[in-house]
Chain A
Amino acid sequence: MTRRAVVTGIGVTAPNGLGAEAYWAATLEGRNGIGPISRFDPSGYPVRVAGEVADFAAAEHVPSRLIPQTDNWTHLGLAAAAWALEDAGVEPSAFPEYEMAVMTASSSGGTEFGQREIERLWSKGPSWVGAYQSIAWFYAATTGQISIRHGMRGPCGVVCAEQAGALNAAGQARHLIETGTRLVVTGGTDAALCPYGLTAQYSNGRMSEAGDPDRAYLPFGVDAAGYVPGEGGAMLIVEDEADARARSAPVVYGTIAGHASTFDPRPGSGREPGLRRAMELALADAGLTAGDVDVVFADAAGVPELDLQEAAAIGAVFGPRGVPVTAPKTMTGRLYAGGAALDLAAALLSVRDDVIPPTTGVTELAPGCDLDLVRGAARETRVGAALVVARGYGGFNAAVIVTKADQRSTR
């Protein structure tokens, strides 16, 4: 029998909610998690607002032994993974260790940790650089720490494709489940809200310099002027559907039904970006047509040119205003490696509850962005299938389709 990858647990660390249900309630209400940067004094920087995970105290959620060894990005990932396992009713020690895998996304590794150690290097000298720098800032640190903490020794890896990474990680998780792995922790987090991280991101020329948290990030809107950075993300537990039913998993949120990734053509080539192709390939992979999709969770760059490209791609696949589109990331900012993971969590909750969360802030659509953008309030409607799309800086595109779990096998 074909194995089918379903999501049985969700853990969220988001600027507008800690824990999947808190995040979901805030998101459906349109509660904004974006505010003035408080982690450091941003007055010398052009970017003033961000989505900070303000209420997260690592000491409450992460083993104390791990705190000094790891970056805040890994703290957020460890907490989200533990919550996702708890949500799934999974006690890892009950699973064979080589049949559990960890596949996360990372965008810039342990940026804040790295900044601290590099400051010590130049101000005090090499002997002041902590030994943990060797393990804390590289991309696979979160995957590795989750793997060690929960004894998961199956196929582990990390995908680095900026904002698109978590969708590719989810695609890989699905592949692992289909080929026999029992359980995969997948998703992504990010936490690069430090001067070093912000300066590196700013070089992409796509960030919003607006100071009003409610008006700084307006994808597809007439006033779109860049994106707001954020931190946090989500972790998901993926299992085979029959396995999950057999162990009486408390909840099956939905199926990871399709995945595709593409890469943009060389800049200046004049050829079409790869986003439309990623959506079409994901649909084909899921065995669905455009008409089966009930909502698109957009990448929502917030940069006019990129918004137009995305609107054109969605229009080409679904027709003008042919599908509801939403961007709950307007309440969190773009979370880099955590962004698509959080969108996947939102899509799964959307499929569970038959409701589409709103896009906040955007009042008037930009000319050319001919979309049915869900605004103002959440929209209650049947959601049988949701398409999540993401673009990563540098040319990455990815799409994942989640569907309601197969009702026929529900007990």
Chain B
Amino acid sequence: MTQTTSFTVEDLKETMRSCAGVNESVDFGSDISDITFEDLGYDSLAVLEVAAKLQNHLGVVIPDDVAEQLVTPRALAEYVNVRLTD
């Protein structure tokens, strides 16, 4: 397992940026916690890609059907964070 003790939306942003890129129309520097992935320009494939990266790097299992239900960065970050600190 990993040394990470908390996982924030800022950490998630970094993963999103590196594996799925950023839409030009989105201000990624602002607080995007409660904007849906869809509105941020991330389709289901992008969310699966992000989830797979988190799974591989943090060891947190995010089943595909669960990933589909986590529609905002805050929801996904909290899901990961809870399982990291368990």
Contact = CB atoms under 8 A, between A and B. Distances in A.
A350 interface: no
A198 interface: no
A65 B45 contact: no
Interface in B24-50: 24, 41, 45-46, 48-49
A63 B21 CA distance: 9
Contacts of B41: 65
A66 B45 contact: no
B9 interface: no
A63 B20 CA distance: 11
Nearest to A134: B45
A135 B46 CA distance: 11
Contacts of B55: 127
Nearest to A125: B56
A69 interface: yes
Contact of B52 (A65, A66, A131, A135): A131
A64 B21 contact: yes
A64 B24 contact: yes
A68 B45 contact: no
A124 B20 CA distance: 20
B20 A68 contact: yes
A117 to B, nearest CB: 12
A130 interface: yes
Nearest to B44: A131
Contacts of B49: 130-132
Contacts of A64: 21-22, 24
Contacts of B18: 68
Interface string A66-106: 11110000000000000000000000000000000000000
Contacts of B56: 124, 127-128
Contacts of B8: none
- Give the interface centre of B20, B23, B48 by most chain A CB atoms within 10 Å: B20
B66 interface: no
B42 to A, nearest CB: 9
Interface residues of A, number: 15
Contact of B45 (A63, A67, A124, A132): A132
Contacts of A132: 45, 49
A130 B52 contact: yes
Nearest to A132: B49
Given A131-B45, A132-B45, A135-B45, A67 B52 contact: no
B19 A130 contact: yes
A162 B15 CA distance: 37
A65 B19 contact: no
A65 B21 contact: yes
A127 B48 CA distance: 11
Interface in A106-150: 124, 127-128, 130-132, 134-135
Given A127-B55, A127-B56, A128-B56, A65 B48 contact: no
A128 B23 CA distance: 24
Given A127-B56, A128-B56, A67 B21 contact: yes
Contacts of B19: 68, 130
A68 B56 CA distance: 17
A63 B23 CA distance: 7
Nearest to A63: B24
A124 B55 CA distance: 13
Interface string B49-61: 1001001100000
A132 B47 CA distance: 11
Contact of A127 (B20, B21, B52): B52
B20 A69 contact: yes
Contacts of A128: 52, 56
Contact of B21 (A68, A124, A134): A68
A257 to B, nearest CB: 40
Contacts of A69: 20-21, 46
A132 B23 CA distance: 16
14 contacts: A63-B24, A64-B22, A64-B24, A65-B20, A65-B21, A65-B22, A67-B21, A68-B20, A124-B56, A130-B19, A131-B45, A131-B48, A131-B49, A131-B52
Given A69-B46, A135-B45, 10 more contacts: A64-B24, A65-B41, A128-B52, A128-B56, A130-B19, A130-B49, A130-B52, A131-B48, A131-B52, A134-B45
Interface of B: 18-24, 41, 45-46, 48-49, 52, 55-56
Interface of A: 63-69, 124, 127-128, 130-132, 134-135
List of 7 A-B pairs having minimum Cβ-Cβ separation, nearest first: A65-B21, A131-B49, A64-B21, A131-B48, A65-B23, A131-B45, A68-B21
